[in-house]
Amino acid sequence: MLKLVGGFVGGMVFVGILAYNMMSGLMFREIPSPFGVEETVARIQQNIQNVGNGWSLSGLRNPAKAVEADGGNVLPVMMVEACSTKYSGPILKDDTVRFLSILMPCKVTVYKKNDGKTYIGMMNAGLMGKMFGPLVGEIMGHVAEDQAKFVIFDPTKPAPPLIKPAPPGAGGAGGAAAGGC
């Protein structure tokens, strides 16, 4: 009996450690890009505008600039922000899940690593949504389908121009390219 209990407890500890170590790989996705940081961002922006389902660009951020302004030196990092009112509306209307507004707008990061390559990082929206019940699970499943389309690139097409946000005070919220959540 002691061996059975010990084996069960040992198995649970092993599974817990395994789940802890794999969690970041499940919650977030990292995809290599065949292009540089700015071209990848521009192609993602264009894909967001073309995917339909109410998606619009809501911002473009450069978190590396803040580090550089503070005297640090980091590799390029850019964050594309987009939102679809088709998907955000039902969540924002429901008191029980409105706290998930913290996940809005949808963010896709593009960054360079020390290996010299460019990568795309994004949340695994489908998996995250399943953690919050059927309404959010269904909506985030659709978000995940659209996110997959954000990062499909046609290398035979020329790179689109980068859509830079309007400067603060130029007719919109600081950092917003268009739309919002």
Residue at 162 is within a domain = no
Residue at 80 is within a domain = yes
Residue at 158 is within a domain = no
Residue at 37 is within a domain = yes
**pLDDT surpassing 70 at residue 70:** yes
* Rounded-to-integer distance, Cα 176 and Cα 164, Å: 9
CA-nearest of 155, 168, 160 to 45 is 160
Query: Which domain, by its residues, includes 32?
Result: 27-150
Query: What pLDDT, on a 0 to 100 scale, did the predictor assign at position 130?
Result: 82
Q: What is the DSSP string of 131-165?
A: TT-HHHHHHHHHHHHHHHHHT---TTSPPPPP-PP
**Kind plus residue range of the DSSP H or E element containing 30:** strand 28-33
Residue at 139 is within a domain = yes
Query: What pLDDT, on a 0 to 100 scale, did the predictor assign at position 105?
Result: 86
Residue at 160 is within a domain = no
CATH classification of the domain holding 71: 3.30.310.70
Query: What pLDDT, on a 0 to 100 scale, did the predictor assign at position 147?
Result: 93
**pLDDT surpassing 60 at residue 175:** no
Residue at 43 is within a domain = yes
Query: What pLDDT, on a 0 to 100 scale, did the predictor assign at position 165?
Result: 77
Q: State how many domains the chain has.
A: 1
**pTM, rounded to two decimals:** 0.78
**Kind plus residue range of the DSSP H or E element containing 81:** strand 77-84
DSSP state of 169: T
Residue at 120 is within a domain = yes
* Rounded-to-integer distance, Cα 46 and Cα 163, Å: 9
**Model confidence pLDDT, tens digit, residues 112-147:** 999 999 999 998 888 878 888 888 888 889 999 999
Tokens of 164: 């830079």
**Model confidence pLDDT, tens digit, residues 9-66:** 555 555 555 445 445 557 789 999 999 999 999 999 999 999 988 999 999 999 888 8
